[in-house]
Amino acid sequence: MPLPMAEAAPHREPIVVSGDGAPRVHIWQIGCQMNTADADALSEAFAEIGLRPGADLAEADLTVLVTCAVRQHAEDKANAKLGELKAWKRDRPGRAIAVTGCMVGEHGGELLRRFRHLDYVFDMREPDGFLARVRDLYQGALQGPVPLPASDRLCAYLPVILGCNEMCTYCIVPFVRGRELSRPAEEIEADARRLVGRGVAEITLLGQNVNSYRDPDSGAGLPELMRLVDRVPGLRRMRFLTSHPRNASPDLFSAIAELGTACEQLHLPVQSGSDSCLRRMKREYSVAEYLRILERARRRVPGIALTTDIIVGFCGETEAEFEATYHMLETVQFDTVHIQAYSPRPGTAAYRRADDIPREVKSERLHRVLDLQRGISHRRNQALVGSQVEVLVEGLGQDGRPFGRTRQGRLVWSDAPAGAGDVLSLTVTSATAWQLAAG
Ligand code: SAH
Ligand code: SF4
Ligand code: F3S
Q: What is the pLDDT of residues 93-124, one digit of tens each?
A: 889 999 999 999 888 889 999 999 999 999 99
CA distances, 256 to each of 183, 283, 420 (Å)? 21, 24, 25
pLDDT digits (tens, 9 = 90+) for 249-308: 999 999 999 999 999 999 999 999 999 999 999 999 999 999 999 999 999 999 999 999
201 lines ligand 3 (CB under 6 A): no
Within a domain: 231: yes
Final residue before a domain boundary, out of 141, 172, 194: 141
What lies within 8 Å, CB to CB, of 325 at 6+ separation is 272, 273, 274, 277, 310, 312, 369
- For residues 68 and 198, state if they share a domain: no
- For residues 162 and 182, state if they share a domain: yes
Whether the per-residue pLDDT at 5 is higher than 70: the answer is no
What is the pLDDT of the chain when averaged over all its residues? 93
pTM, 2 dp? 0.93
- For residues 403 and 300, state if they share a domain: no
pLDDT digits (tens, 9 = 90+) for 24-67: 999 999 999 999 999 999 999 999 999 999 999 999 999 999 99
- For residues 179 and 62, state if they share a domain: no
Whether the per-residue pLDDT at 11 is higher than 90: the answer is no
Q: What is the pLDDT of residue 4?
A: 40
Q: What is the pLDDT of residue 1?
A: 31
Q: CATH code at 427? A: 2.40.50
- Ligand index nearest the alpha carbon of residue 104: 3
Number of domain units in the chain: 3
- For residues 238 and 160, state if they share a domain: yes
Nearest CA, atom 1, ligand 3: 68
Within a domain: 81: yes
- For residues 346 and 424, state if they share a domain: no
- For residues 416 and 377, state if they share a domain: no
- Ligand index nearest the alpha carbon of residue 180: 2
209 lines ligand 2 (CB under 6 A): yes
- For residues 126 and 256, state if they share a domain: no
208 lines ligand 2 (CB under 6 A): yes
Higher-confidence position of 218 and 94: 218
Gap from CA of 102 to ligand 3 centroid (Å): 6
Q: CATH code at 33? A: 3.40.50.12160
- For residues 129 and 195, state if they share a domain: no
- For residues 76 and 119, state if they share a domain: yes
Final residue before a domain boundary, out of 382, 399, 420: 382
pLDDT digits (tens, 9 = 90+) for 221-252: 999 999 999 999 999 999 999 999 988 999 99
Question: How far is 247 from 186, CA to CA, in rounded Å?
Answer: 22
Q: What is the pLDDT of residue 149?
A: 64
Domain of residue 24 covers: 7-141
- For residues 294 and 206, state if they share a domain: yes
Higher-confidence position of 14 and 179: 179
CA distances, 89 to each of 25, 59, 93, 133, 333 (Å)? 13, 11, 7, 19, 49
Whether the per-residue pLDDT at 152 is higher than 80: the answer is no
Gap from CA of 175 to ligand 3 centroid (Å): 11
Nearest CA, atom 1, ligand 2: 171
176 lines ligand 3 (CB under 6 A): yes
64 lines ligand 3 (CB under 6 A): no
